[in-house]
Amino acid sequence: MEKNIIEKLKQAKLLGRSGSCFPTFSKWEMVKKSKAAKKYIICNASEGEPEVFKDKFILENYPEEVIEGIKIALRTMGRSSSAYIYLNKDYYPEFKEKLEKIIGGQPISIFKKPEGYIAGEETSAMEVIEGRKPEPRIKPPYPNEFGLFGYPTLVNNVETFYYVAKIAKGEYKNTRFYCVSGGAKNKGVFELPENWTVEKILKETKNWPDFDFFAQIGGGASGEVMLPAELDKPILGLASIIIFNRQKTNLYALMEKWADFLHYGNCDKCVPCREGIFRISQMIKNRKLEKDKLEDIFFVLEKTSFCPLGRGIPLPFKSLISKVLNGKN
């Protein structure tokens, strides 16, 4: 059933579902080829973006497939391999016992993710499992070379392992899970073709608004704000769509919500992220956006932040300000 699984992953063109879009087969191949005495596998179930709940949906409805995907990884990487399910702290009490029953005697442990958005970043997760603070590591070296406890580590998220199981059985139909929330009429998680445009997804799920709206694509804090005319393309990153009523949404309150989440969720390790989001937050709370200062802060965040969280902070603010707050179309 799973013979030549790496070749099957390659043929299926499965990309990571966490938002990075990295080819799954490539990660598996690099860890598989390593001559290390030990190898680790991490199923990243940390799902932390506001109003994103697709991994929770998968764990509720398809836990057997997720565990099977992890088991396939264990068998593929070799007898010395062991795995962790790095589980969102709010999901932990709901899914721990259920998952342990499915795991049985396999070398798969469940680890509760601590507070903080940054704790979900893959190298931060490794730091936590090793008993340290949730802070990202410098890359390179990458986890596939020097990961958990210094050994090659395969990191995929819940949805990716689900699809590994599907591919092994020959049941993969080039679909993915889309989380639709916010002001949508028919909120939920939908498994649909990965090449569908956002517009088609919303219309087919009866979620295309009958009011003036904008959408946030790719997460409830770091996602890009897009107008209806921009939704004629597929989602490449995190498959999250959040609908906002343009007339009823308090834009400053929305940005304040993002800023608070990002400020609370970072690790304070690097100055650009720590100070940058603080200054953005202060401007928003004071309801006074200073264009030149904001542009400087955004530039520094994008170019000098230590990890992807800091580099991604400007996107939601820049897109909301330029497309909605300033009334540009």
**Is residue 84 domain-shared with residue 220, that is, in the same domain?**
no
Of 152, 168, 184, which one is at a domain's C-terminal end? 168
Residue 229 inside a domain? The answer is yes
The residue from 199, 222, 245 where one domain ends is 245
**Rounded-to-integer distance, Cα 163 and Cα 22, Å:** 14
Q: How many domains does the chain have?
A: 3
Helices H / strands E in the chain, number of each:
13, 9
Domain boundaries, position 298? 255-325
Average pLDDT, rounded, for the chain: 93
On whether both 310 and 209 belong to a single domain, the answer is no
**Co-location of 57 and 87 in the same domain:** yes
Same domain, 233 and 266: no
In a domain, 83, yes or no: yes
pLDDT digits (tens, 9 = 90+) for 239-249: 999 999 999 99
**Is 32 within a domain?**
yes
Q: Does 250 fall in a domain?
A: no
Q: Supply the CATH number for residue 71's domain.
A: 3.40.50.11540
52 in the same domain as 156: yes
Mean per-residue pLDDT, 301-322: 92
289 in any annotated domain:
yes
Predicted confidence at residue 329, as pLDDT, reads: 40
Assign residue 273 the CATH number of its domain. 1.20.1440.230
Q: Tell me the CATH number at 229.
A: 3.10.20.600
- Say how far apart CA 41 and CA 108 lie, in whole Å: 9
- The pLDDT, as a whole number, for residue 1 is 46
Which pLDDT tens digit goes with each residue over 63-87? 999 999 999 999 999 878 999 999 9
**Please, which pLDDT band fits residue 328 given cuts at 50, 70 and 90?**
very low
Beta bridge partners of 156: 43
For residue 170, which of 20, 58, 2 has the smallest C-alpha distance? 2
pLDDT of residue 88: 96
Are 81 and 40 in contact by the 8 Å Cβ rule? The answer is yes
Same domain? For 23 and 129 the reply is yes
**Token pair recorded at residue 320:** 């909301």
- The whole-angstrom separation of Cα 3 and Cα 210 is 49
Is residue 97 a part of any domain in this protein? yes
